Amino acid sequence: MNVLKADRINYLNIGLMVLTAVLAYYFPFETFLLAYAYLGPLHYLTEISWLHDRQYFAKGKWDYLVLLIVGVLLSYAAFAKDFGVSQDVYDYFVEMNLFDKLLVFALFASILFALVKSIWIKLLAIFLLFIFVGGWLSPERAAENADSTTIFALTALIPTLIHVYLFTGLFMLYGALKSRSKSGLLQMVGFVLVPIVLVFTLPVDTKSPFLSKFGKEAYYAKGDGFYNTNYLILDHFELIEDQKLTNKEYLDIITKEGNKSYFLRQGLIDTSAFIAHTDSLSKIANRPFVIKPMRINMANLSPAFQYDHLLYFFDTSSRYINSINEYRFEPLPRKLMKSPSKKETDALIYFSEVGVMLMRFIAFAYLYHYLNWFSKTEIIRWHKVPKVRFIVVIVTWIAASVFYTYDYSLGLSLLFFLSFSHVLLEFPLNIVSIVGIGTESLSIFKNGFKKPINS
């Protein structure tokens, strides 16, 4: 392709970013939902077809089968849950944490597929990798892994936002560096700045945001939609401020029986978790402490805390302070909080400032991910396939659109295999892009920003 045509496509993409940002600003939920339902399936089908013709950017001819098998297993387990078929299979996946294990295994295995040619080295490495991932993400480590941002990114963000935004950006950057395209680098500037402006600088109207009935119902999708992903992101990064109690409120609860009863009655605290917490304190109440406590009036303490009333008023540290006094300077931990009602979560996701800001980014990332793919048809040439395959792609896409139109939840369930498998099958390309960025950057550092002769 000539340089001028490539430049026009890059400038077109900058315009598409602005258009996407406008739609995401005014209609964040609807923009995402319509893009995901009607552009998403066509993207999955055409990209898988394109990847297949390029051996999925793997060194081995059959490497992709490992990723495809992972996609089949995860899809069957999801299908079992959604349609009530082989429920014991889904339960086993949950019990053994297989959803996370298989996803992380596929990602790490893709590094081998993209970089290693020897079948014996790959087999040995995959065996060791399987053992490592199985131990790292074992159910026995669930409590320890629950707050890990690394694991959250690998299991919750890579199939969603990292795939559609970060990996898209890496693919674009690799192309710009490889072709030494200044317009391509300008496109990258827009790719970073436009969502920053969209999310962090434009005002958020939480009192009267536009949200259609379709947007609210389809995003929840009978409990199977992306609604849960939004909540997990907000919860993991502690953006849900309303669910915390201050240190003063916490001390009020434990020092005054009436206050504790009030908070429990109001449903602000999970009763069983709170009782378990107080029981854990009682088990270490008789330990020696090398500390001088402040004097307090025992009459103000609830009966459950009178035996260890001094433990909550240390003004220095001790070797037991983390287990006994861990909440003195912090809000009441999330593990003691009761889960919010559906109404409260709706308010957070659909109508809070942080909820709308997150949704704007999600809408931008997904819609532009699709538009970028289709706008670069002449560069990527995904349409150059046998006629029979092209017809199968179009017919399948039309069927997918019908499913989403009839019932959004049904569309999500039936298209899960395609949507998830295309993420898995793209992993080797993502690795190639990362390595390519490093290679091209080193070449530019050594030789300057001039196009290689054989590029």
Residues 227, 107 share a domain:
yes
Decide if 41 contacts 401 (C-beta within 8 A). yes
Span between the terminal Cα atoms of the chain, in Å: 12
| Predicted pLDDT at 85 | 87
**Domains contained in the chain, number:** 2
Last residue of a domain, which of 336, 357, 373?
336
Residue 453 lies in a domain: no
Strand partners, 347: none
Q: Write down how long the chain is.
A: 455
Q: Tell whether 429 is covered by a domain.
A: yes
328, 376: one domain:
no
pLDDT at 240: 76
Q: How many CA atoms lie within 13 A of 235 on its CB side?
A: 18
Is 300 a member of any domain? yes
pLDDT tens digits, one per residue of 305-324: 433 333 333 333 333 333 33
CB 402 within 8 A of CB 46: no
Alpha-carbon gap, residue 5 to 247, rounded angstroms: 61
Whether residues 359 and 319 share a domain: the answer is no
Whether residue 173 sits in one domain with residue 124: yes
For the chain, which residues score pLDDT lower than 70?
1-2, 208-209, 241-339, 452-455
Pair of tokens at residue 25: 């600003």
Positive or negative torsion for Cα 44, 47, 52, 53: positive
Last residue of a domain, one of 309, 336, 363: 336
Q: What is the pLDDT of residue 426?
A: 98
Q: Return the ∠ at Cα 374 (arms to 25 and 1), rounded to 5°.
A: 125
Answer yes or no: do 175 and 213 share one domain. yes
Same domain, 212 and 102: yes
| 198 shares its domain with 85 | yes
pLDDT of residue 84: 86
What is the model's pTM?
0.82
Spatial distance between the Cα atoms of 398 and 312, rounded to a whole number of angstroms: 64
In a domain, 454, yes or no: no
Whether 259 and 168 share a structural domain? no
Report the SS3 class of residue 412.
Answer: helix
The predicted structure's pLDDT at residue 261 = 57
Query: Would you say residue 403 lies in a domain?
Result: yes
Does the residue 58 lie in any domain?
A: yes
The reported pLDDT for the residue numbered 245 is 55
**Do residues 340 and 243 touch, judged by C-beta distance below 8 A?**
yes
Q: Note down the domain range covering 209.
A: 3-238+340-447
Q: In this structure, are 20 and 119 located in the same domain?
A: yes
pLDDT at 420: 97
In a domain, 223, yes or no: yes
> Are 222 and 309 contained in the same domain?
no
What pLDDT shows up at residue 342? 84
